[in-house]
Amino acid sequence: MLVILPPSETKSDGGRGGPLDLDTLSFPELNPIRKRIAEAIVDLAGDLDASRAALGLGATQLSEIDRNADLWLSPTRPAIERYTGVLYDALDHRGLTRAGKVKATDRLAIGSALFGVVRAGDPIPAYRLSGGSRLPDMPTLASVWKPDLSDALDAVDDFVVDLRSGVYHQFGPVRGAVTATVMTEAADGSRKVVSHFNKHYKGLMARELVRTRRTVRDVNGLAAVLADAGQRVEIAAADQILVLTD
């Protein structure tokens, strides 16, 4: 099983690994695109105003431009430790057992505007680039990643749970992957898609999929793991589950 998580705009600093080496990353067939985008954001970092506009940064976020300027020089750390925020707090990689961390390395991947997708243990630096960013002299990032990202992910010989959201899913949909929609259910039975706590629940889902001893091969096995963890789930289709909250 491979669970693909969304990235986060917030990232931890530092790391103990050497500088970025694309050849150390999973899915090496994506390296030409990775290099193209990486060089573009490093060049962009030389123009403060252009960087702020392209990356959607405020006056207090100028350090993000410094991160991009040092992309090829700054230390790396495993991707699962680099990304932070609500989803990663709920996943709580640090709180997993040693065996759980081994499973996380094997089972988790993370979508990325810069790297397309990386596995949890891949060493990456801190950077700033969102799915909706528009880099100078380049089409949308979705256009840059299509169809190469889908091709790379379609080649994964495993059951895929795709928890990416919005534009990151559009970068490279995975044929046959199961997606999850988090919804609230009112007392009258009406439902609506969760926005604010969506990442939290997906982090909890990822944690259970890392910890489970079940071999998950299809949507039924996925639903069983989440139900065992106390979540209310419905199978909406062979490629979609609903996670229901109050």
Residue-by-residue pLDDT tens, the chain, 246 positions: 999 999 999 999 999 999 999 999 999 999 999 999 999 999 999 999 999 999 999 888 889 999 999 999 999 999 999 999 999 999 999 999 999 999 999 999 999 999 999 999 999 999 999 999 999 999 999 999 999 999 999 999 999 999 998 899 999 999 999 999 999 888 888 899 988 789 999 999 999 999 999 999 999 999 999 999 999 999 999 999 999 987
The number of folded domains in the chain is: 1
Read off the amino acid at residue 149.
Answer: L
Q: Count Cβ atoms below 10 Å from residue 240 Cβ, excluding itself.
A: 14
Predicted pLDDT at 187 = 84
Mutual orientation of helices 98-107 and 198-211 as an angle, nearest 10°? Answer: 110
Query: Which residues have CB under 8 Å from 83's CB, separation 6+?
Result: 5, 7, 8, 10, 11, 12, 110
Predicted pLDDT at 160 = 98
Predicted pLDDT at 139 = 93
Among positive and negative, which fits the CA dihedral 11, 13, 14, 15?
negative
Cβ(12)–Cβ(123) below 8 Å: no
Predicted pLDDT at 177 = 97
Predicted pLDDT at 58 = 86
DSSP per residue over the chain, as a string?
Answer: -EEEEP--S-B----SB-S--GGGSS-GGGHHHHHHHHHHHHHHTT-HHHHHHHHT--GGGTHHHHHHHTTTTS-BEEHHHHB-SHHHHHHTGGGS-HHHHHHHHHHEEEEETTTEEEETT-EE------TT---TTS--HHHHHTTHHHHHHHT--S-EEE---HHHHHHS--TT-EEEEEEEE-TTS-EEE--TTHHHHHHHHHHHHHH--S---SHHHHHHHHHHTT-EEEEEETTEEEEEE-
Domain boundaries, position 198 = 2-245
